[in-house]
């Protein structure tokens, strides 16, 4: 990847635009402790959240940068990964002109955001063992292909993509490779984070919604080169991550032991459920998983889905997804919930 220049990928209007300058952007270098802030039309009476939040979320980024061994300027935070992904479309994909490539069956938001942004979504199915078909993918690339989305471990299949195929794509595609690592903390495979310096076209997204147990606060994270992050920073809404979210994220990020123990517990429950599923008569296939869910193929997904609902258990029916006929996706719950699920599965026939 020599001569990679992010400016060749940025939309013309984004290159030309001036970012919104928020009141606080101008004061980040001052010692603000004794200052009187009459600049942002806030209510002056303190209640903890009467001020606008830090637009650069410096405290959260400082902790993440340390934990992930990157620079704070290689991090962009968003209102969930969904916002981060949307910003990637808006920065790099010209509506009605550019295209992206996704690999179904995969996370639905890439396609939704492509539609929303009027960007063509070229779908190249995964192989039968749910791996990227690299040659087909590269054949689908043209001069307007801006982003290839790789979800690894992949939702809803649960597997991660082979290192060789990801490397081949990183080396041969001149646009951005986004690796969505929402489930990386449940996998034994290494994150792609330590490859950021090797590949200027690599973008990694992670989230506090799954392993970190904070789906409710909406915090998505994008790691990339400082050059890519500065483009995204330029177009993000100034106060996209609210104060309560920043505070709660900080608190949780500093509780590494608790997070680790919850992840271990989820993995333990996953392994137990995998063992039990082997003996359930209507389960025809159990797909290998490196995530906090298991994809199974059953005799009749619609029927089994309805039966479980009737027993008070909601799972995800994936039968309409390509390569996923009659599959169900089971999220790993607590030990108690897992026990109930197992009991119900064993009673059905």
Ligand X SMILES: *Cc1c(COP(=O)(O)O)cnc(C)c1O
Residue linked to tokens 């392994």: 271
Least distance in Å: CB of 318 to ligand X? 12
Q: How far apart are CA 192 and CA 204, in angstroms?
A: 7
307-336 positions binding ligand X, by CB under 6 A: none
Site for ligand X contains 182 (CB under 6 A) = yes
How many other CB atoms are found less than 10 A from the CB of residue 276? Answer: 15
Beta-bridge mates of residue 298: 283
Of residues 98 and 180, the one with the C-beta less far from ligand X: 180
Q: How far apart are CA 179 and CA 149, in angstroms?
A: 6
Three-state DSSP class for residue 51? coil
Of residues 10 and 100, the one with the C-beta less far from ligand X: 100
Of the candidate spans 80-88, 232-240, 270-278, 333-341, the one that interacts with ligand X by CB under 6 A turns out to be 80-88
Site for ligand X contains 223 (CB under 6 A) = no
Site for ligand X contains 209 (CB under 6 A) = yes
Of residues 81 and 240, the one with the C-beta less far from ligand X: 81
Site for ligand X contains 256 (CB under 6 A) = no
The residue at minimum Cβ distance from ligand X is 80
Closest CA to 220 of 190, 178, 173, 274: 178
Of the candidate spans 95-103, 113-121, 205-213, 333-341, the one that interacts with ligand X by CB under 6 A turns out to be 205-213
CB 127 within 8 A of CB 154: no
Of residues 174 and 316, the one with the C-beta less far from ligand X: 316
162-168's contacts with Cβ under 8 Å and 24+ in sequence apart are: 162/131, 162/132, 165/131, 165/132, 165/134, 166/132, 166/192, 168/134
Site for ligand X contains 180 (CB under 6 A) = yes
Site for ligand X contains 220 (CB under 6 A) = yes
Site for ligand X contains 215 (CB under 6 A) = yes
Q: How far apart are CA 63 and CA 251, in angstroms?
A: 10
Site for ligand X contains 184 (CB under 6 A) = no
Please give the radius of gyration of the chain, using alpha carbons only, rounded to the nearest integer.
22
Site for ligand X contains 86 (CB under 6 A) = no
| List of residues contacting ligand X (CB under 6 A) | 80-82, 107, 151, 155, 180, 182, 207, 209-210, 215, 220
């Amino acid at each position: 990847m020599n001569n990679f220049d992010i400016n060749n990928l940025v939309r013309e209007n984004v290159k030309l635009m001036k970012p919104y300058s928020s009141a606080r952007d101008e004061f980040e270098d001052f010692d603000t402790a004794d200052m009187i802030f009459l600049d942002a039309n806030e209510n002056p009476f303190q209640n903890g959240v009467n001020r606008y939040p830090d637009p650069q979320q410096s405290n959260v980024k400082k902790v993440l940068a340390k934990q992930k061994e990157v620079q704070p300027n290689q991090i962009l935070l968003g209102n969930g990964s969904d916002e981060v992904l949307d910003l990637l479309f808006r920065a790099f994909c010209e509506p009605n002109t550019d295209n992206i490539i996704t690999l179904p069956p995969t996370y639905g938001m890439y396609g939704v955001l492509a539609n929303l942004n009027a960007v063509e979504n070229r779908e190249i199915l995964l192989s039968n063992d749910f791996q990227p078909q690299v040659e087909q993918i590269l054949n689908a690339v043209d001069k307007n292909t801006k982003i290839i989305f790789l979800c690894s471990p992949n939702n809803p299949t649960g597997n991660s993509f082979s290192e060789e195929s990801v490397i081949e794509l990183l080396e041969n595609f001149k646009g951005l490779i986004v690796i969505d690592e929402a489930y990386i903390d449940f996998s034994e495979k290494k994150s792609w984070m330590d490859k950021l310096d090797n590949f200027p076209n690599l973008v990694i997204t992670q989230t506090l919604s799954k392993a970190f147990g904070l789906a409710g606060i909406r915090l998505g994270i994008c790691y990339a080169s400082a050059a890519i992050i500065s483009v995204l920073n330029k177009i993000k809404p100034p106060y996209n991550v609210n104060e309560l979210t920043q505070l709660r994220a900080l608190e949780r990020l500093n509780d590494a032991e608790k997070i680790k123990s919850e992840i271990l517990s989820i993995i333990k429950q996953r392994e137990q459920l995998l063992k039990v599923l082997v003996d359930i008569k209507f389960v025809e296939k159990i797909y290998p998983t490196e995530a906090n869910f298991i994809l199974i193929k059953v005799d009749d997904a619609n029927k089994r889905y309805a039966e479980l609902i009737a027993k008070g258990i909601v799972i995800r029916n994936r039968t309409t997804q390509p390569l996923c006929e009659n599959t169900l996706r089971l999220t790993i719950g607590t030990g108690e919930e897992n026990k109930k699920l197992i009991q119900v599965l064993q009673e059905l026939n």
